[in-house]
């Protein structure tokens, strides 16, 4: 096997397995070194298919190197390194192993050249990542982890069923443009939809991510959903349905983020909402739109990880994540405030930040290819991002006054601040060199982002969102929560709704069973009593007869037989 035949991601997966038996210091060294080695590996790979083989008559491509895979694989390795830096102080073998295997499986899935190989990595990401939810080590985290695993396994089952049907229909499992023209393709699409958090399929994100460990949530924010975006871009580019699904994601999830009261749940909804513009870009499907999807996936991973890092530092130092217990922390946590503001500016797509560079191509493509309605809906989702994370989140944590005292613990470890600094620097650096950044995208689109119209439009959006936010706060329509609140979401249908349906079904089944058993018992008793009356000692069939009477009956029956059959 040559260096090129080594599947991308395998170095991290094997490192994770090895970490299970290594002491703490060596595990941390591996977590830092292997993402960098993996990044060097994929950058040195020649374009094309590698590790090709035939298994049971099926052509498999272990890894495929092209522009799209390199962008997603590269940012996955960078995210794994930054998250590992943030995680350095944690002494937890389970999290170390799970994080490395999870990141490696995500990279492997991105480079998979066929659906069967994708399925293997798809399931491995699910199995490894659930331990980061369990690492929250609360009863709520355990229950959320079980629900998370069930959802991910459902996605895997759909992917497996879809690839089998697709193979039977086409004779191929190649992972290219699939379309929606067959039952197998629809099943594959639904598998990707679950992992991407489409509306009504999204509840697992806000359920599991806030309950994961502080550092586990950072890893989770980077890989699972972005892998689904990649899968959609690879398998369903130009599928118009995705434009409207993406627009709905951007708006509906933004509304939930505006209502959430736990800062990590706000970020989970924010992450889900931001997937919307990428999904819509996949649906538009032009080279410019797909470059925008790849570009925004990179930036989104960086600022979302930075936001989860900042929220993690707040949770680490205060022990609280409910907005009702926070506020007024600006002077107590200035470095965390600075990191949060950089991330808030980036998600708001302010000029000179990465998201300004990455969102603009998608919005431009939407305006020119999909019409004013799609463009307007995506713009509305962008305004929502400014409101719920660009403005509301920093306000809840750092501004105003909290209801009661909150204990501030010792400063967070230096590695947590170093990881935030690295993420923040990349968020800004991308915004400063857009031409170089676009050159790394799959189609290397030539796009002028810093035009007067783009800059003025975005500044107007930010100003409009800020004015609206201030009005909502001053009119008490968006007040600081006085206590933690329960926010009903789509997961209610399978967490409570299905339980209620099952309970009622069992109750009704019991009643029907009891009624059925009662009716059957009565029927059997009636048969027994009738038989007893007819054939019992006193019944007509139970009387004793003389031989002469018996002969008479037999003669009559024989005569009747002769009349019927011989006349």
pLDDT digits (tens, 9 = 90+) for 321-365: 888 788 888 888 999 999 999 999 999 999 999 999 999 999 999
| Cβ–Cβ under 8 Å, residues 58 and 163 | no
Q: In angstroms, rounded to a whole number, what is the distance separating the alpha carbons of residues 401 and 324?
A: 10
Number of H helices, E strands in the chain: 22, 2
Q: What angle do CA 96, 274, 80 make, to 5 degrees?
A: 20
Contact of 419 with 337, CB cutoff 8 Å:
no
Q: What is the mean pLDDT of residues 27-44?
A: 94
Cβ atoms 113, 63 nearer than 8 A: yes
Asked whether 5 and 51 are in contact (CB, 8 A), the reply is: yes
Collect all residues with Cβ–Cβ distance below 8 Å to 167 and sequence separation of at least 6: 58, 115, 173, 184
CA angle 373, 375, 381 (to 5 degrees): 105
Largest Cα span, the chain: 122
Question: At residue 540, does pLDDT exceed 90?
Answer: no
Q: What is the pLDDT of residue 216?
A: 96
In the chain, helix, strand, coil percent, each to 5? 75, 5, 25
| Predicted local confidence at residue 402, as pLDDT | 64
CA 69-75-80 angle, to 5 degrees, is 120
pLDDT tens per residue, range 54-87? 777 677 887 899 999 999 999 999 999 999 999 9
- The arithmetic mean of pLDDT across residues 280-295, rounded, is 95
- Find out whether 190 and 178 touch, Cβ atoms under 8 Å: no
Query: Are residues 423 and 502 in contact, defined by beta-carbon separation less than 8 angstroms?
Result: no
Question: How far apart are alpha carbons 388 and 440 in whole angstroms?
Answer: 31
Whole-number pLDDT of residue 2? 64
Q: 96-147 pLDDT, tens per residue?
A: 999 999 999 999 999 999 999 999 999 999 999 999 999 999 999 999 999 9
Residue 65 φ then ψ, to 5°: -105, 120
């Amino acid at each position: 096997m040559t260096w090129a035949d080594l599947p991308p991601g395998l170095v991290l997966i094997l490192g994770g397995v090895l970490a299970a038996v290594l002491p703490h210091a060596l595990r941390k060294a591996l977590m830092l070194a292997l993402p960098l080695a993996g990044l060097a590996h994929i950058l040195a790979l020649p374009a094309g298919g590698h590790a090709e083989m035939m298994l049971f008559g099926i052509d498999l491509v272990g890894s495929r190197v092209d522009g799209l895979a390199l962008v997603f694989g590269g940012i996955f390795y960078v995210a794994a390194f930054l998250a590992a830096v943030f995680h350095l102080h944690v002494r937890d073998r389970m999290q170390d192993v799970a994080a490395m295997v999870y990141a490696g499986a995500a990279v492997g899935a991105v480079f998979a050249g066929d659906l069967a190989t994708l399925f293997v990595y798809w399931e491995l990401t699910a199995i490894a990542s659930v331990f980061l939810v369990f690492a929250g080590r609360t009863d709520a985290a355990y229950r959320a982890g079980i629900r998370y695993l069930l959802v991910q396994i459902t996605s895997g089952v759909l992917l497996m069923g879809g690839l089998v049907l697709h193979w039977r229909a086409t004779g191929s499992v190649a992972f290219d443009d699939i379309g929606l023209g067959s039952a197998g393709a629809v099943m594959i699409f639904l598998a990707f939809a679950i992992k991407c958090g489409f509306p009504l399929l999204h509840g697992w994100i806000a359920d599991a991510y806030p309950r994961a460990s502080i550092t586990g949530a950072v890893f989770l924010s980077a890989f699972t959903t972005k892998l689904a975006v990649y899968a959609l871009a690879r398998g369903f580019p130009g599928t118009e349905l995705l434009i409207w699904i993406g627009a709905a994601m951007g708006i509906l999830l933004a509304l939930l983020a505006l209502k959430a009261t736990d800062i990590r749940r706000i970020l989970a909804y924010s992450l889900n909402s931001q997937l919307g513009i990428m999904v819509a870009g996949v649906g538009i499907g032009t080279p410019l739109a797909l470059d925008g999807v790849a570009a925004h996936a990179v930036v989104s991973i960086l600022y979302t990880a930075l936001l989860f890092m900042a929220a993690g530092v707040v949770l680490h130092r205060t022990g609280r994540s409910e907005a009702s217990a926070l506020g007024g922390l600006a002077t107590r946590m200035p470095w965390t405030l600075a990191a949060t503001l950089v991330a808030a500016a980036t998600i708001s797509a302010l000029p000179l930040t990465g998201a300004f560079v990455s969102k603009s191509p998608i919005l431009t493509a939407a305006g020119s290819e999909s019409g004013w309605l799609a463009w307007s809906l995506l713009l509305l989702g962008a305004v929502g991002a400014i409101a719920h994370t660009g403005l509301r989140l920093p306000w809840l944590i750092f501004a105003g006054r909290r209801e009661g005292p909150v204990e501030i613990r010792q400063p967070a470890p230096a590695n947590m601040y170093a990881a935030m600094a690295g993420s923040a620097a990349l968020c800004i650096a991308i915004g400063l060199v857009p031409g170089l950044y676009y050159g790394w995208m799959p189609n290397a689109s030539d796009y002028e982002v810093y035009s007067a119209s783009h800059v003025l439009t975005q500044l107007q959006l930010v100003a409009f969102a800020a004015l609206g936010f201030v009005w909502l706060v001053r009119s008490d329509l968006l007040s600081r929560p006085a206590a933690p609140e329960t926010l009903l979401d789509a997961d209610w249908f399978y967490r409570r709704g299905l339980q209620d349906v099952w309970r009622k079904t069992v109750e009704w089944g019991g009643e029907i069973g009891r009624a059925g058993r009662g009716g059957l018992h009565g029927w059997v008793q009636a048969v027994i009593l009738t038989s007893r009356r007819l054939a019992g000692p006193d019944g007509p069939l139970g009387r004793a007869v003389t031989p002469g009477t018996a002969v008479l009956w037999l003669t009559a029956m024989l005569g009747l037989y002769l009349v019927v059959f011989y006349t």
